[in-house]
Amino acid sequence: MATTVHEPPQIEPRVPELGHSGNGGRNLLPGGGRLRGVRDFSPPPASTALWVGLAAITMTFVAFTSALIVRQGSATDWRHISLPGILYLNTAVLLASSLTLEVFRRSFLKRRGAINAKQGAVDLPRTSAGWLYATLLLGIAFVAGQYLAWLRLNAEGFYLATNPSSSFFYVLTAAHALHVLGGIGGLIYIIRRLSQGMLRPTALSVSTRYWHFVDILWLYLLWLLWAKL
């Protein structure tokens, strides 16, 4: 006797409407399923990494500041030192570098206009690119000027281990100079990408923000050194 086997009924899965969910409204898609809105809201990974890095650098120098204040208050061997005059020239050089970088950034974005970042690079006139090279040279000049300041203190008999005040001077200025060197590395990367015709606004924005940050950080450190040393 033959046995008839019936196929199981086909049950179509229910697809929830975009923007609405039966899981207590915990749908990850926005209303209407506009994924572009999610992408536009999310910051680029480079920008996120930048803010994390800037936060870490800020906390590092906050720790240095706290250590300086505590050490000065409890030290009996604290000796005040006169800041080398070249530090003020170095400050002007660093401020000028931020200005030239900002001029280049605005020129680049103006030339790019409404072009999407994924569509490639923008041809810039040599006068505009010159502002970027000027920023690089000014950054190198700042680091060289800091080295001259260290030589000046050495000539006056202040070394890293001479007293707590000179120790903090060398540590703070050297730590900042290292971060400036990191910014110089970023500028070299931007110059290389520009020469290859592959510079993106995101990379330029990250480098510019970092450079302005080390500029502001130096202004704070200069005030701290002037007030406490």
pLDDT digits (tens, 9 = 90+) for 126-158: 657 899 999 999 999 999 999 999 999 999 988
In order of 63, 78, 83, 158, 222, the CA distances from 70 in angstroms are 11, 12, 21, 21, 19
- What is the number of structural domains in the chain? 1
In the predicted model, what is the mean pLDDT of residues 54-67?
Answer: 95
* Structural domain includes residue 219: yes
* Structural domain includes residue 52: yes
Tell whether the torsion through CA atoms of 8, 9, 10 and 11 is positive or negative: negative
3 state SS of 200: coil
- Where residue 25 falls (left for φ over 0; alpha for ψ -120 to 50; beta otherwise) is left
Instruction: Give the domain CATH number at 171.
Output: 1.20.120.80
4-18, 23-37, 98-112, 128-142: which range is least confident on average? 23-37
* Structural domain includes residue 168: yes
Residue 13 has pLDDT above 60, yes or no: no
Looking at residue 101, what is its pLDDT? 96
Higher per-residue pLDDT: 200 or 144: 144
Residue 47 has pLDDT above 60, yes or no: yes
* Structural domain includes residue 119: yes
* Structural domain includes residue 37: no
Contacts of 168 (CB under 8 A, 6+ apart): 64, 67, 68, 71, 228, 229
Model pTM?
0.76
Domain boundaries, position 59 = 44-75+82-228
Residue 177 has pLDDT above 50, yes or no: yes
Looking at residue 74, what is its pLDDT? 78
Residue 19 has pLDDT above 50, yes or no: no
Looking at residue 139, its amino acid is G
30-34, 42-46, 98-102: which range is least confident on average? 30-34
